[in-house]
Amino acid sequence: MEYSPLVWSSCPPSFLALLDRVQNQARRLVESKMRQNDRPVYFQSLQHSRDVAALCVFLKVHQQNTPHLATLLYPEVPTTYNTRNGHSRSHELHVPIARTETFLRTFLPKYSRMWNQLVRETDLHLLTSVQ
């Protein structure tokens, strides 16, 4: 279920709910077989895994200039802001306009918005390594 999270990320929510249901069943099965003194098992949500994988790809594209991902390079928003957050605006991406819900779920529109939110709220986009 962790295989190819970027492909799964553009699926309709009903398909993703099926995957989440399978993960919840696996979590319940593991928890039912645990003994009293065992540590609780933490299952990271599949959506979180998909989001992290996509943001790692964006970091590789925009910070590390990975050649095989060059087709995903998307234009950055021009910096015309002179505010406290103006320095981070230079790393924000232009979000493509989505007219349909299906296109809105695809890689570039969905994760360029998430990348812009990451740029506004943290300094993680300045890292040089995915680690």
Residue 44 binned pLDDT confidence (cut-offs 50, 70, 90):
confident
Residue 75 binned pLDDT confidence (cut-offs 50, 70, 90):
low
Q: Where are the domains of the chain?
A: 5-123
pLDDT, tens digit, 9 for 90 and up, residues 79-118? 455 555 444 456 777 777 878 888 888 888 888 888 888 8
Q: Mean per-residue pLDDT for 26-40? A: 84
80-117 as b/e: b if 16+ CB within 10 A: eeeeeeeebbebbbebeeeeeeeeebeebbbbbbebbe
